[in-house]
Amino acid sequence: MKKLKEIAAKTWVIGAGALLILGSSSAMAFALDPNVPESSSAYVVATNTQETTNNFSLETGVTAEYSVIDLSKGSPERDKLIRDKLSLTEDITPEQIEEKFKDIISNSIPGAKDISAEQAAAYAADILKTAYNVDFTSYTAHASFSKNPMPNSDNWTVIFHAPNEDNTTQRYIASVDSVNGSMLDASSFNLSYLVDNSKNPEDPEWKNKAEEDIARLMPEEVSITSSKVIYATPETGVMVVSELSDGSACAVRLTGENKEAATYIFFPNGYDGSLDLKPITENAVG
């Protein structure tokens, strides 16, 4: 079981008709990943290129055999990709592009205290296999590092791509703490942008399924003390938050006919209300 270790930051990855990514770690991953449009150490067989193969699963010892591409290492292709994406910003000047480019590069390089891209991918793979029961054989993991202004919140975000994928192929993404590999978030998505309507979102079975999914990621000594539905609509699915016996909380969004987990979000200090739908006021902008 993957332990829900305390962390200083959380990232929400959610898709409903279109992919929306919030949080600097995931934003960095998407900025550096060319395939995305607009408790032991891992054993790694290293090569002299940016691509390596992970041969060991952290907890199970099962051979994973997926490739890892470390996007924190510089390349002309990466630099061009970042500049091209920055240039899409309205009214940005060449000087501003260069300034932002330098900031992105400086914040995308791990330090001596940080685990490697291969180790981060191994932690992420274990998390995602537990959450989604996926086999990553022949997948390619794109690992992006991100420094954050909050203390102890630097992280790796790893996106697993299947071979010969298209817009309907599921991608799997997880962010982990850059020092100890503990989970920040986990998610699954594709690029089809189709709305998978969730029938009867008011059915209590949605909450029951959410608790089952959350329990699968918890250590045996931690239990769910209470749960509540944050929102439930056919278009976006059902978001449930569970308070845990160790004082933390976990949210999961379920979608579709099979009530599949699209996103997990962890709150190490308990749920803070940030997912609650807030009414629009007369002072609102937009």
pLDDT per residue as tens, the chain (286 positions) = 444 433 323 333 333 222 223 333 444 444 445 554 442 222 222 222 244 445 444 444 444 579 999 999 878 888 998 999 999 999 999 999 999 999 999 999 999 999 999 999 999 999 999 999 999 999 999 999 999 888 778 999 999 999 999 999 999 999 999 999 988 899 998 888 776 778 898 899 999 999 999 999 998 999 999 999 999 999 889 999 999 999 999 999 999 989 999 999 988 889 999 888 765 444 444 3
Residues facing residue 109 across a β-bridge: none
- Do the bridges between strand 237-244 and strand 224-233 make them parallel or antiparallel, or are there none, so unpaired? antiparallel
